[in-house]
Structure 1
Amino acid sequence: MKKIIYVLTLFFVLTIPFNAVAQDLMKSKDLSTIKVDYLSDDDLAKISAQLKSNNTSIDQVEQIALSKGMTQADFNKLKIKLKDYENKNGKKEVKDNTLKAGEKASEFGRKQEKVENVKVKDSANALIFGSELFDNPTLDFAPDLKLATPMNYILGPGDELQVSVYGVQEYNASIPVSVEGKITIDYVGQIAVSGMSIEAASQKIKAAIARVYSTVRSGQSQVSVSLGQIRTIKITIVGGKQPGNYSISSLATVYNALHLAGGPGKNGSYRNIELIRNNKVYRNIDIYRFLVKGDQSDNVTLKENDVIRIPAYTQRVTMEGEVKRPGIFEMKRGESFSDLLNFASGFNEFAYTASINVLQKTGKEFKVHDVSESEFSSYLPKSGDVFRITRILNRFENRIKIEGAVFRPDYYSFTEGMRISDLITRAEGLKEDAYSKRARIIRLKTDLTTEIVNVDLGAALSGDLNADIELKREDIVTVYSILDFREEYKVTIDGEVKNPGEYEYFENLTLNDLVVQVGGLTGSASKRVEIARMIKSDAIDDADPKRIELIELEITADNNEQIKNFVLKPFDVINIRRMAVYEKPQMVTVSGAVGYPGKYVLANKKETVYNVVMRAGGLTSIANLDGMKIKRPIKEEQIETLERIDLNISKNDTLKGKLAKKLKEDLKFATIPVNWEKIVKDKNHFSNVTLFPGDEIEVAVYNEGVKVTGNVLLTSEIPYRNGKGFKYYINAVGGIDSKGWKKKAYIIYPNGKADVTTSFLFFRSYPKVEPDSQIVVPEKPERKKMTAGEWVGIGSVVSSLALLIVTAFK
């Protein structure tokens, strides 16, 4: 018996610390005996839940734990174990919460079951004013859980209260309201709160706690009561797009419920919605009050078993045309067109407002009615009316225009009796270049044709009333400029100047002025200048064959300012000639097996391959004498010439374009083979070509291999063997593949020359193979196979010919 008592006592002593820490880390008075290493997952779960209920973290309670006897080492262990537990169970906890209740918690800890409804876009009724309020998923009118608890909130089963005692004594708990409408507080007992406001319930709870906690009675401790979790109520919606029973927040309002139901149905009213409470109409709701004025007085809070009834509309009208918000509008009895115009946000800036056209429906047919502006407040729209607001006319009732040589040409307002001098005064007078002898008025006549009226502008401005004629609406007055009557003079300069081209002529313009204007002479300018001048004469002289007058001058080529200046005339063409000898050094490139590869300047006008190679140190011992070639850049003009040539091919054939593209993008160089052995023996040999700027002489290094590429089984390089022919090297790489075209195989020699396979009757001749050459086997062209029908057609033709021959020889 003693052993049993001892064991039970030991168990009690050991479990007290764990229960203490599990009950509340902040409320325990002595934490020195806690064995953190023996805490279970359940203990850690309780600690984590208590921290969350107090809206604190483990770091925030560190000083409290240390002050109550826990060592720093034990607290660090507790912190690590708690973090590991939360990392391990955090995801599962979130998932369970989502699946269990779909709850959402605000940043203040208040919770509410999540209510969702998929929005269905009502495209058929999109024009009905107010429908967009319920189609937009971002406008859900959900209650804000961050707001303070309303003091008039009525408690009921499903609500949860957060009761806290703080001060000398401490207590904190989340207490749900039971189905009987009561809450249970430890050591206090049950308190009935259902049907009470949160304010009245708070007073009742505080009084009950004060009877148990002496410090509350004395004021040393305080009591706080707040709403933790909000209950869900059930309401019914009739007549909406998605009618039915809905479970929503007890803080939800009428607009929140209507949004969940998708708003009124196809024929539902937006202006006479009924909120029925206890089988009586509690409130009539007009959504237009909110849409037009922002008035939310109808957006009342719902209660359990409320019914929202959406009846069918009484009358709807349509507003089309030039209003700010066209659409279909619901009207109440007694509302006028002015009210309808207010719903549509008024006319836009282009609306014709003097009269409105209304298309009405009678019992048998349609009729049209006009509503004048004075009747807007008295005309009562009828169901089915279609109001059409048209645009104002694209014309002006008082516009007049002046253009030309005045300081402010523009449109101006026209008044009766206005004269041309008045209009010029409004345009701030004539410019200095104005032509005062004549002005023009283009006038629109009554039959909509136009006429021109000429005005003596000088006389009109001097006070002559006969000349200062009256203007009419839509007149266009043109004041001419004397500059309009002058020819625009130009001179042209070309040749060795920095910016050749056509320039404006001025009186007393000299050659020096023009040369400075174009940036001066270039370094290649010679002393010779040729000026071509226009010949003017009233009589034709057939004996004089000259078309122009040529003037030749000599200038100082290295000076823009000439001693003897020459005055130019309109339309002169000046040409500064180039020096006879002025050529910048140009280079070619030598690469490969030469003594000094690099770039070399063309020293002579006819610099040959031999001269440049010898200047480069001649060939080295590893040079391939048969592998010398010249790569010459393809010039733009050569490509342009090819594009201009008519190849006599169809328009759809892309051959010419492919050739030009290949020259531009792929080849870029033309290859010229060089026979060095012949050049050494004879300097006049045709291989000793004259070089052009940009040429590159390539001297290949001697290579004893022969490359075999193309449609062969193995692309490889075979060692050269003297006496072996073309077939030997093709067989050495395994022969050709299934697509290889052997009879069209060719060879490229090291100097760029090429040779092809030839055939005569049944004999085929292959080109000679040399070291460092390349054998290429091309691909066979694709051939279209004949179909069975084509074979049958050929057979029938052959049979017919055979029958014809047999018949002919009978």
Structure 2
Amino acid sequence: MKKIIIVLFLVFAVFQSEALMAQDLLKGTDLSAVKVDYLSDSDIAKIKAQLVSNNTTIEQVEPLVLAKGMTASEYAKLKVRLGSQLATAPTAVSNTDAFDEKKGEPSRLQEKIVNKKVKDTLNSLVFGSELFDNPDLNFEPNLKLATPVNYVLGPGDELQVSVYGVQEYSASVPVTMEGKVNIQYVGQIPVSGMTIEAATQKIKGAISRVYSTVVSGQSQVGISLSRIRTIKVTIIGSRQPGNYSISSLATVYNALFLGGGPAKNGTYRNIELLRNNKVYKKIDIYNFLVNGNQSDNVGLKDNDVIRIPAYSQRVTLEGQVKRPGIFEMKSGETFKDLLSFASGFNEFAYTASVNVLQKTSKDFKVKDISSSEYGSYKPLAGDVFRISKILNRFENRIKIEGAVFRPEIYSFYEGMRVSDLVAQADGLKEDAYTNRATIVRSKADLTTEVTNVNLDKALAGDVEANILLQKEDVVTVYSILDFKEDYKITIDGEIKKPGVYEFHENLTLNDLLVQAGGLTGSASKRVEIARMIKSDEINDVNPKRVQLFNLEILAENNEQIKNFELAPFDVVNIRRMAVYEKPEMVTVSGAVNYTGKYVLANKKEKIYDVIQRAGGLTAVANIDGVKIKRPIQAKQIEAIENVNLNLGKQDSIQNKLTKKLKEDLKYAIIPVDWREIVKDTTDKTNVTLFPGDEIEVSVYNESVKVTGNVLLTSEIPFNKGRGINYYLESVGGTDAKGWKKKAYIIYPNGKAAVSSSFFFIRSYPKVLPGSQIVVPEKPETRKMSTGEWVSVGSVITSLALLIVTAFK
């Protein structure tokens, strides 16, 4: 007895610990006795709900449950059981709200069936497989429709019973497992197995025995289906076979969609619906795919079985049809039925016959089916039908081109002649050459031959000239303009629209001048016309290549110009006036009395002359700060681009230089030594000015700017007699990258000076007021690695040993 009590106590302890774990996985203190195999599905569901409520996962609580005594093997089993519940293919998500939040409409409740679709790659070419890959097409029943009157009630359904009028009552009553509904004060009413219509009458009769006003008509009874039960169906032979919980309103297509459709070798045309162990219905999906007929899409009942057998016969249709693929054929169906499955031939198909590759018991064979056999030929299993393209040939084409009003392709008919085709093309153009037209004709061996036609005679009714045409003939009517040379006239020089113009007969020089927009203001009175020399014989005595005509445009000989007749290929040149230069200007800015733009009075005007015209320098002008900014001309950049520096294709020095001149440096600076110019105007810095030059006179500045790689960019007051070191020390010296010995000075007039050295003695240029000291950056140098130092040491050691050996 004592042993029995101990055993019962242990069993109780085990189940108690399992129950505790199921109730609270996180709050349990000892999980060492937990056996996951003994936990029920409801216990696993409670653990999953607990994890969800704590916003955590089983992986996150692994350290916690192991610390509370659960073994690693039991934790692995628990993880697998929790994961298997989440990964079940058909999952039911409870919809407890009878209100559609998106549309604001009341709806009937139903367990929502969710099934993850998997792309069918094995059956991708089989006609009908795409039906089960489309997530937007699932055939699920519409729960907002009125309940069918023949709907059979069963456990799991829920009815909404309402009494309204003098007496009122409303309640949602479920159909119990015993098949009854329990209505308050009325009692239990059996409804399982009854249609909704019959159940409604039965419930109304029961209510009327309790509510007296229902009999008298003062109160009314309303009964509706508020929740629909789920039923179990089994699918065999699908890509995702198994037991499925689906709506009691679901149909065969809905179940097939959930099961992923037929498997690799499954039939699409002989699917069996088994009910009560008998074949209730055979489903042919092609009825829906081809005709849209859903007569096979019958409703399902609890414990129905959908069986998808293997297909018996499939054929392949390739080529020029609207829907090529693999099709399943039933016994007795013909090639015409197969064409209807593929939606028929496309517009490029050769329809006179079809080639089919058949399989025998030993090898392959080829058969041609004519169009008359389409309705009688019955495809065999494994047949491959190939629909080829029509040939790129025409049955009745003929073409006319050239000098007719409608050059085009026309339809040919027997007995057609040249005159008939010309009339069909609306006749000849005015420029048509009627003495000869050509007909290019294809012979039987596909080579071509040319036949000539006299159009004048053919159109006049000459039977021999008006020859018979054949299909694929190409008739060409030539234009007299095709034989005419394209003559041109060229005019250049001081004309508004120089260029090449069309030559016309009787074209005069005056006509050409008007056509070219007239003369420019710089045109002189001289006109030169060059004309080609034409001769059938070579004259070695005469070396001239052209004949020149020199004319003058004057009032007294204007008629000569007006009446000078031009010839083809003449070249007319209008000369420029000997003296015709527009005034060119330079700009003076800065510390002068009258700044602004000044016209260059002569071709050799110098900077001194212009500054004197500008009133001379002001009292605040820096005598050492006069410079000229000369714009860089496009021809200078072009000259640099044309110079080959032989730097190689990979070197970018020339490209960088060109880019700098184009984008960065818009001016070239010319330093001016004004002190020397004042002493002697013939000094070399008194340069001749060019149009566009800008003379800039800077204002006297008593500071020196220090910039570049220094600790502080600043301006230091000028201290007479102090050198560059003084100013560098005033800004804190150079930084780590500063290259002091390469420091340079930019003077106010734009001139630059650099330091120099002689016998290790470095001298720096003189600093002037308004100057700018620039310290450049040291170039980057690569330090030698340890291996390189070792190599150098080895070389030095070898040399030393060699020297020692030599002097022994």
Say whether the fold is shared (TM-score over 0.5): yes
Q: How far apart are the structure 2 equivalents of 1:129 and 1:157?
A: 40
- Give the corresponding residue for 1:734: 732
- Percent identity between matched residues is 73
Q: How far apart are the structure 2 equivalents of 1:419 and 1:717?
A: 101
User: Quick check: 1:104–1:113 contact (8 Å CA) kept in 2?
Assistant: no
- Give the corresponding residue for 1:136: 134
Structure 2 CA distance for partners of 1:794 and 1:235, relative to 1, 3 Å:
same
- Give the corresponding residue for 1:391: 389
Mapping of 1:736-755 within 5 angstroms? 736-755=734-753
- Give the corresponding residue for 2:719: 721
Deviations 1:387-444 (Å, cap 9, x if unpaired)? 1222222233433322211222222333444433333233232221111111222233
Q: How far apart are the structure 2 equivalents of 1:514 and 1:329?
A: 78
- Tell me the SS of whatever aligns to 2:337: helix
- Give the corresponding residue for 2:685: 687
Q: How far apart are the structure 2 equivalents of 1:336 and 1:100?
A: 49
Counterpart of 2:302 (choices 301, 304, 315) is: 304
- Give the corresponding residue for 2:633: 635
- Tell me the SS of whatever aligns to 1:116: strand
* Cα distance, 1:547 vs structure 2: 2.6
* Cα distance, 1:99 vs structure 2: 7.9
User: Quick check: 2:93–2:112 contact (8 Å CA) kept in 1?
Assistant: no
Counterpart of 1:458 (choices 453, 456, 459) is: 456
Q: How far apart are the structure 2 equivalents of 1:210 and 1:524?
A: 119
Deviations 1:181-220 (Å, cap 9, x if unpaired)? 4444555554444333333334444445555556655555
- Tell me the SS of whatever aligns to 1:739: coil
User: Quick check: 2:94–2:112 contact (8 Å CA) kept in 1?
Assistant: no
Structure 2 CA distance for partners of 1:592 and 1:265, relative to 1, 3 Å:
farther
* Cα distance, 1:601 vs structure 2: 4.3
- Tell me the SS of whatever aligns to 1:115: strand
Q: How far apart are the structure 1 equivalents of 2:287 and 2:531?
A: 86
- Tell me the SS of whatever aligns to 1:660: helix
- Tell me the SS of whatever aligns to 1:458: helix
Counterpart of 1:575 (choices 559, 570, 573) is: 573
Counterpart of 1:109 (choices 103, 106, 111) is: 106
User: 2:231 aligned with 1:247, yes or no?
Assistant: no
User: Quick check: 2:745–2:765 contact (8 Å CA) kept in 1?
Assistant: yes
User: Quick check: 2:93–2:114 contact (8 Å CA) kept in 1?
Assistant: no
User: Quick check: 2:288–2:294 contact (8 Å CA) kept in 1?
Assistant: yes
* Cα distance, 1:652 vs structure 2: 1.9
User: Quick check: 1:441–1:478 contact (8 Å CA) kept in 2?
Assistant: yes
Deviations 1:680-699 (Å, cap 9, x if unpaired)? 33333333333333333333
Unaligned 5+ segments in structure 2 are 1-91
User: Quick check: 2:510–2:561 contact (8 Å CA) kept in 1?
Assistant: no
User: Quick check: 2:510–2:562 contact (8 Å CA) kept in 1?
Assistant: no
Deviations 1:597-654 (Å, cap 9, x if unpaired)? 4444445444443444455554444333322322222222211111001112212211
- Tell me the SS of whatever aligns to 2:677: helix
Structure 2 CA distance for partners of 1:463 and 1:757, relative to 1, 3 Å:
same
- Give the corresponding residue for 1:58: none
Q: How far apart are the structure 2 equivalents of 1:679 and 1:190?
A: 128
Counterpart of 1:325 (choices 308, 323, 326) is: 323
Q: CA RMSD in A?
A: 3.1
- Give the corresponding residue for 1:82: none
User: Quick check: 2:94–2:111 contact (8 Å CA) kept in 1?
Assistant: no
- Tell me the SS of whatever aligns to 2:263: coil
Mapping of 1:232-381 within 5 angstroms? 232-381=230-379
- Give the corresponding residue for 1:93: none
Counterpart of 1:505 (choices 493, 503, 506) is: 503
Structure 2 CA distance for partners of 1:807 and 1:440, relative to 1, 3 Å:
farther
- Give the corresponding residue for 2:76: none
User: Quick check: 2:248–2:300 contact (8 Å CA) kept in 1?
Assistant: yes
Structure 2 CA distance for partners of 1:154 and 1:796, relative to 1, 3 Å:
same
Q: How far apart are the structure 1 equivalents of 2:268 and 2:232?
A: 23
Q: How far apart are the structure 1 equivalents of 2:640 and 2:363?
A: 77
Q: How far apart are the structure 2 equivalents of 1:662 and 1:800?
A: 50
Q: Which moves more between the two structures, 488-497 or 476-485?
A: 488-497
Deviations 1:90-120 (Å, cap 9, x if unpaired)? xxxxxxxx98648685443113332221111
| 1:269 partner letter | T
User: Quick check: 1:460–1:468 contact (8 Å CA) kept in 2?
Assistant: yes
Q: How far apart are the structure 2 equivalents of 1:480 and 1:655?
A: 60
* Cα distance, 1:793 vs structure 2: 5.1
User: 2:778 aligned with 1:780, yes or no?
Assistant: yes
* Cα distance, 1:488 vs structure 2: 0.9
Unaligned 5+ segments in structure 1 are 1-97
Q: Which moves more between the two structures, 681-690 or 214-223?
A: 214-223
- Give the corresponding residue for 1:766: 764
| 1:700 partner letter | S
Q: How far apart are the structure 2 equivalents of 1:728 and 1:477?
A: 98
Counterpart of 2:438 (choices 437, 440, 448) is: 440
| 2:757 partner letter | S
- Give the corresponding residue for 2:148: 150
* Cα distance, 1:290 vs structure 2: 0.8
* Cα distance, 1:289 vs structure 2: 0.9
Q: How far apart are the structure 2 equivalents of 1:586 and 1:203?
A: 113
- Tell me the SS of whatever aligns to 1:311: coil
Structure 2 CA distance for partners of 1:247 and 1:549, relative to 1, 3 Å:
same
Counterpart of 2:536 (choices 530, 533, 538) is: 538
User: Quick check: 2:115–2:258 contact (8 Å CA) kept in 1?
Assistant: yes
- Give the corresponding residue for 2:226: 228
Mapping of 1:49-64 within 5 angstroms? none
Q: How far apart are the structure 1 equivalents of 2:550 and 2:218?
A: 119
User: Quick check: 1:102–1:114 contact (8 Å CA) kept in 2?
Assistant: no
What is the TM-score when the length of structure 1 is the normalising length? 0.80
| 2:377 partner letter | Y
Q: How far apart are the structure 2 equivalents of 1:579 and 1:704?
A: 53
Q: How far apart are the structure 1 equivalents of 2:395 and 2:787?
A: 81
Mapping of 1:590-605 within 5 angstroms? 590-605=588-603
Deviations 1:120-152 (Å, cap 9, x if unpaired)? 112232111111111111222222233333333
- Give the corresponding residue for 2:656: 658
| 1:745 partner letter | A
- Tell me the SS of whatever aligns to 1:225: strand
* Cα distance, 1:156 vs structure 2: 2.9
Structure 2 CA distance for partners of 1:216 and 1:783, relative to 1, 3 Å:
same
* Cα distance, 1:292 vs structure 2: 0.8
| 1:513 partner letter | D
Structure 2 CA distance for partners of 1:484 and 1:234, relative to 1, 3 Å:
same
Q: How far apart are the structure 2 equivalents of 1:755 and 1:622?
A: 25
Structure 2 CA distance for partners of 1:208 and 1:675, relative to 1, 3 Å:
farther
User: Quick check: 1:105–1:112 contact (8 Å CA) kept in 2?
Assistant: no
Q: How far apart are the structure 2 equivalents of 1:163 and 1:127?
A: 52
Structure 2 CA distance for partners of 1:304 and 1:616, relative to 1, 3 Å:
farther
Q: How far apart are the structure 2 equivalents of 1:355 and 1:373?
A: 5
Structure 2 CA distance for partners of 1:728 and 1:177, relative to 1, 3 Å:
farther
Q: How far apart are the structure 2 equivalents of 1:543 and 1:671?
A: 59
- Give the corresponding residue for 1:200: 198
What is the TM-score when the length of structure 2 is the normalising length? 0.81
Q: How far apart are the structure 2 equivalents of 1:479 and 1:144?
A: 72
Q: How far apart are the structure 2 equivalents of 1:191 and 1:273?
A: 39
Q: Which moves more between the two structures, 745-754 or 162-171?
A: 162-171
User: Quick check: 2:591–2:617 contact (8 Å CA) kept in 1?
Assistant: yes
Q: Which moves more between the two structures, 468-477 or 235-244?
A: 468-477
- Give the corresponding residue for 2:708: 710
